[in-house]
Amino acid sequence: MRKFLYYRLVFLFLFLLSFSCLFLGEGPLRYSTKSYSSLIPPDLLLEDSWYGVYFQDTFVGYSHFFMRVRDVKEGGGYVLKNSTNLKMPLLGRLESLNMEMEARLGSNYSLKEGEFKLDSRKYFFVASLKKKIANTYSLTVKTPSQSVTKEITRDEEIINPLFSPISLNYIPLKKKIFYTFYDPVLNRKTKVLLQNRGRMDIELDGQILESYKVEMDVEGIKGVIFVDNHGRLLKEEFLGFTFIKEDTKKLFKHDYFTAGKDFITYFSIPAIDLPYKEKLKYLKVRIKGISEDYIKEDFNQKLKIADNTYIVEINRKEPEQIKSLHPERTAFAKYLKEDEFVRFSDPLIRDTVNSIVGQEKAPLIIIEKISNWMNENIKKVPSITIPNTLDVLKLKQGDCGELSALMAGFLRSLGIPAYVNIGIVYNEGRFFYHAWISAYVGEWIDTDPALNQLIADPTHIKLLTGLENQFELFKIISKIKMEILDYQ
C-alpha cells in the first residue's frame, strides 16, 4: 500500500498569494517613491467575476471575486469578497478545499477589517484582523483546538492584494515594481516582483481578447498574469495552476476529472529505482538548482559544495548510547520549548502521552511506544492544514506534517529534545517532499512517525528545520534536481 509520502509543499501558500488571502503592506516601488495606494485609480471598477481553476489543464474548481461600495450607514468604503472551492487530485482521490475571504476597506482602500476562512475535511482555520488605532491591529485565529487573540503592529498601511491586477495596467510599460506581501497569521513577508510587458492578444473561450501581460516573480518562482484594458483579471498561471475568467453557465458544467493527474507527483523529483530502501545504511546524491540556504549538514548528513552543486551523504544513524530522561535543559532549550506549531501545555496532550508511555524512562522505547500508538490511532490521510500538536490530537488524522507536529509535542512534553525536519524522501522511483523528526536519546536520531520507522532510512534528505519554515519550500520546488550516485 502506497504511503502518504508528501509534504503539503506550499499548497496553502499558493492560494493565499494568488487569491486575496494575504494582506499587502505599502512599500517602495522600483520606478518611483510613490506609495502603492497611489496606483489604485480613482474610478476603480466594481467587480463580480468568476474564474475556473485548472491544474495541469484539468479543472479542479472555481473562484469568485465580488466587490461593492459600502453605503454611508455602513461607514463608507468598499467590501471585497473572494470564495474559492477546489477538489484537488491527491494520491488517487479528490480532496476538497474551501476558502473564503471578506475585507472591509476605507475610502482610501486601506484595510479596516478582514476575515479568512479555510475548510478541509474536519479541519478549519479562521483568521480575523481588525484595525484598532493607528497601525495596530487585533488578530484572532481559530482552529479546531483553540482560539487565540493577539495584537500586531505595522509601520505601513495594510492594503488587500486583490487590487494588484486592477492597478497593473496603470504602471508604465516595461517598468518593474515590487510588492511586499505580509501574512499576519504567520508574521511573514514575501517579496513579489511584477513587470508590465505590454499588450498581448490571448484566446479565451474561442475569443481573441486584448490584454496586458504581466510577468510575476515570487522570490524566484515565475508566473504570468493577463489583465484587460480596465484592469480586470483574465488569466493567471503559477506553479502549474491556471486561473481563467469564465462565464458561470460554462463554469458549472465542468467535470472534475483526475485520471493520470496528481498534485503530489507533479511536484516530486524523479530518480532511479532503489531496491529495499528500508534496509539501506547509506545514500549519496548530487543536488542542483538550489542555494546553500536550502540544504543542511546534520549529525547524519554530510555536505560537500562545489559550483552550486551539492554532494550529500546520508547515513542511517543507530544510537550507540542511550540515556534516561532528562538531558541538560540549557543546552537543548530550543528543542524543548513550545512554539506556534509544537504545543504541549494543554492537559489533553500531557494526559494522552502519559497514558501511552506509563512509567517508561528509556527515550528510545518511549519514541517506539508513541510511534506505535500514532500508527494505530491517527488516521493517515492527505491533509491541508497549518498543523499544530493539539489540532492533530483532537482530529486524529493527518499526514507527515501533522504527525511530526504531534510527535514533537509529545516528546518535548516529556523532556526529550526534538525538532521537525522539512525535506524529501524516496518512494517508488521518486523523491517526495516530506516531514519527520529528529530526537535526542543520548545522541541524535531521525525517526519517522508517518512511515512508522523508528530509525529513519537514509533516503530522508534534510533541507530545512522547523514547521515554521514549511512555506519556504515553494521557492525551490520547481528548481531542485537530483541524481543518486551511490547506495549501500
The residue from 222, 251, 280 where one domain ends is 251
Distance from C-alpha of 143 to C-alpha of 124, rounded to nearest angstrom: 6
User: Per residue in 444-465, pLDDT tens?
Assistant: 999 999 999 999 999 999 999 9
User: Per residue in 9-29, pLDDT tens?
Assistant: 434 444 444 333 344 454 444
For residue 40, give the nearest of 171, 151, 148, 130 by alpha carbon. 171
Are residue 210 and residue 341 in the same domain, yes or no? no
pLDDT category at 74 given cuts 50, 70, 90 is confident
Task: Examine residue 190 and state whether it is found in any structural domain, yes or no.
Answer: yes
Distance from C-alpha of 280 to C-alpha of 274, rounded to nearest angstrom: 9
Main-chain dihedrals φ then ψ at residue 153, nearest 5 degrees: -125, 135
Determine the average pLDDT of the residues in 74-88: 84
Whether the predicted pLDDT of 274 surpasses 90: yes
Bridge partners of 227?
212, 233
Are residue 109 and residue 245 in the same domain, yes or no? yes
Are residue 223 and residue 351 in the same domain, yes or no? no
Are residue 206 and residue 59 in the same domain, yes or no? yes
Question: Is residue 254 reached through a cis peptide bond, with omega within 30 degrees of 0 on the bond before it?
Answer: no
For residue 22, give the nearest of 226, 126, 158 by alpha carbon. 158
Are residue 275 and residue 418 in the same domain, yes or no? yes
Task: Examine residue 424 and state whether it is found in any structural domain, yes or no.
Answer: yes
Cα pseudo-dihedral 173, 161, 267, 287, rounded to 10: 70
Task: Examine residue 256 and state whether it is found in any structural domain, yes or no.
Answer: no
All cell numbers assigned to 115: 476575515
**Planar angle of CA 275, 262, 188, nearest 5 degrees:** 100
Whether the predicted pLDDT of 30 surpasses 50: no
Using CA atoms, how far residue 10 sits from 15, 106, 319, 364, 470, in Å, is: 9, 31, 34, 32, 8
The residue from 223, 251, 279 where one domain ends is 251
pLDDT of residue 164: 53
Are residue 357 and residue 425 in the same domain, yes or no? yes
pLDDT of residue 326: 64
Task: Examine residue 259 and state whether it is found in any structural domain, yes or no.
Answer: no
User: Per residue in 214-252, pLDDT tens?
Assistant: 898 887 888 898 988 877 789 999 888 899 999 998 898
pLDDT of residue 335: 94
For residue 24, give the nearest of 33, 32, 34, 35 by alpha carbon. 35
Task: Examine residue 308 and state whether it is found in any structural domain, yes or no.
Answer: yes
Are residue 275 and residue 184 in the same domain, yes or no? no
**Mean predicted lDDT score pLDDT of the chain:** 83
DSSP 337: S
Q: Which domain holds residue 222?
A: 11-251
Task: Examine residue 466 and state whether it is found in any structural domain, yes or no.
Answer: yes
Are residue 210 and residue 332 in the same domain, yes or no? no
CATH code of the domain containing 475? 3.10.620.30
Are residue 299 and residue 153 in the same domain, yes or no? no
Using CA atoms, how far residue 401 sits from 373, 461, 469, 484, in Å, is: 17, 15, 12, 25
The residue from 207, 223, 251 where one domain ends is 251
Are residue 235 and residue 288 in the same domain, yes or no? no
Instruction: Name which of 74-83, 109-118, 155-164, 375-384 the model is least confident about.
Output: 155-164
User: Per residue in 100-131, pLDDT tens?
Assistant: 888 888 877 777 888 888 888 788 889 898 98
Are residue 360 and residue 420 in the same domain, yes or no? yes
Distance from C-alpha of 427 to C-alpha of 433, rounded to nearest angstrom: 11
Task: Examine residue 451 and state whether it is found in any structural domain, yes or no.
Answer: yes
Distance from C-alpha of 245 to C-alpha of 241, rounded to nearest angstrom: 13
Are residue 223 and residue 338 in the same domain, yes or no? no
Supply the pTM of this predicted model: 0.85
Q: Are the C-beta atoms of residues 476 and 461 closer than 8 Å to each other? A: no
Counting the structural domains of the chain, the total is 2
Task: Examine residue 319 and state whether it is found in any structural domain, yes or no.
Answer: yes
DSSP states of 209-238? EEEEEEEEEETTEEEEEEE-TTS-EEEEEE
Bridge partners of 247?
none
